[in-house]
Amino acid sequence: MTQIIDQVRHVCTLGGLQSVLAIERAIPVLHAGPGCGQKLWGAIGLQNGGQGSGYAGGHTVPCTNATERDVVFGATDKLEEVIENTFKVIDADFFAVLTGCTSDIVGDDVGDVVRRFQKQGKPIVWAETGGFKGSNFIGHELVLAAIFGQYLQPAAGKIPGLVNIWAVVPFQDPFWTGVYADLAELLRAVGLTPNVIFGPGGGVTALDRVPAAQFNLLISPWVGLKGVQQLEERFGTPFLHYPVLPIGPTETGKFLRAVAEYADLDRNRVEEFIKEREDHYYHFIERAAEVLLETRFLPRHFTTITDSTYGLALAKFLVSDLGLIPDRLYVVDGIPDHLQEEVGEYFKDLGEGIGAEVLFTPDGGAVQKELRATKFRSRPLILGSAWERTLAKELNGFALSVSMPVSDRLVFDRSYVGYTGGLRLVEDIYSAIMSDFQ
């Protein structure tokens, strides 16, 4: 019997087009059916934190709009024409041709078409991103693999202190712009030079610097690991894999000390920065202690319905810094089966001797059905998507939208990373709780 997945929390592989758009003045060119790009942009862009089309996203993205005739006879000639016209009418620094299901099934030789333009010196790559290959998390990795393998060139030498940051998937995470900016600020504070490819100030200039970095920093349970391994193999650049997105004082301190040890940084400088930021954080926590500890406000347990990056980061913060207990943790980013056990191990130690089992499922509807049948010990706190707002009301609980789709919030450069990010998260959680008592 066919399984129907309800309330899916990601899109198909072709959603990697948004990772191209996250690089300033980079343009995806789609070899796909009509409507694919618009639907993907609407889901992980427009209806996810109110992220718009930007410089040349949304309806501006060039596409071959493959038809039934193209399925029968192929459409490489049409693709070549679309690419030629894209170079003529769109002012950009970088281009990536991405394929949809139709192209991948038919077998159009997209690489042959793109290589003709590469031989002309055009900054263009291609990736086979047919939607049936998986989620846009996989699409993100395929886009990076194409850029690393087809575009980047060896550097004349390594630049001491330069660090490439690879973390959340752009647009899938509505807070991605702030995440990369705040991670960069943390690295600057301890004496490193961050190289951020995605978001404002990045672009092709940052992309060209990637091979010259002293090391790559991957902050993710699993997404991007293939990419940093590829960079190590091709350019000899080592990498530090830190699986937890640092939120709040406990995890941010661990993160900075891990980076300092790996990069052999000035430990006194690092510890001074940690103390300064912890003092700032706890000043506000102590000031608000009466509210935070008020029995009628405080939920004792929490549930997460997020991707693995936020599920792990939020759980560690809520356990170690707010003293809450995990009830049920659902990971909904479509992690490949062979990686689930390894990612699940990260949840075994959330701090304070507390661990949790996680359920891996792409089916948000099944998650909600299970939660409706659960007898909670207290009013539940649910950190998930905009879909959980209605569920929380049914369960007499509280909800905060932190994971796609975040259609009830407008997000600019806010993030929950670091010390200030931890304060923002406490604000958002308790604002959601306190508003219920007005």
Q: pTM of the entire structure?
A: 0.96
Quickly list H helices, 75-175: 76-89, 101-106, 110-119, 136-150
What range does the domain containing 385 cover?
A: 288-437
Q: What is the DSSP string of 310-355?
A: HHHHHHHHHHHTT--EEEEEEE-S---HHHHHHHHHHTT--BTTB-
How far is it, in rounded angstroms, from Cα 342 to Cα 321? 25
Question: Quick one: 214 and 113 in the same domain?
Answer: no
CATH code at position 342 = 3.40.50.1980
Regarding whether 409 and 307 lie in a shared domain, the answer is yes
| Domain co-membership, 117 together with 172 | no
Q: 19 and 111: one domain?
A: yes
Establish if 7 belongs to a structural domain: no
Task: Return d(Cα 258, Cα 264) in angstroms, integer.
Answer: 10
| Inside any domain, residue 252 | yes
Looking at the structure, do residues 163 and 114 belong to the same domain, yes or no?
A: no
**Residue where a domain stops, chosen among 150, 169, 196:** 150
427 and 292 in a common domain: yes
Domain assignment of residue 5, yes or no: no
3-state secondary structure (DSSP) of residue 78: helix
Asked if residue 428 and residue 321 are part of one domain, the reply reads yes
Distance of alpha carbon 273 from alpha carbon 156, whole angstroms: 33
Pairwise CA distance, residues 175 & 425, whole Å: 12
The dihedrals phi and psi of 164, each to the nearest 5 degrees, come to: -80, 130
Same domain, 424 and 309: yes
Pair 370, 326 in one domain: yes
Tens digit of each residue's pLDDT, the chain (438 residues): 457 788 989 999 999 999 999 999 999 999 998 889 999 999 999 999 999 998 999 999 999 988 777 665 568 999 999 999 999 999 999 999 999 998 888 888 999 999 999 999 999 999 999 999 999 999 999 999 999 999 999 999 999 999 999 999 999 999 999 999 999 999 999 999 999 999 999 999 999 999 999 999 999 999 999 999 999 999 999 999 999 999 999 999 999 999 999 999 999 999 999 999 999 999 999 999 888 887 666 788 999 999 999 999 999 999 999 999 999 999 999 899 999 999 999 999 999 899 999 999 999 999 999 999 998 888 899 999 999 999 999 999 999 999 999 999 999 999 999 999 999 999 999 999 888 766
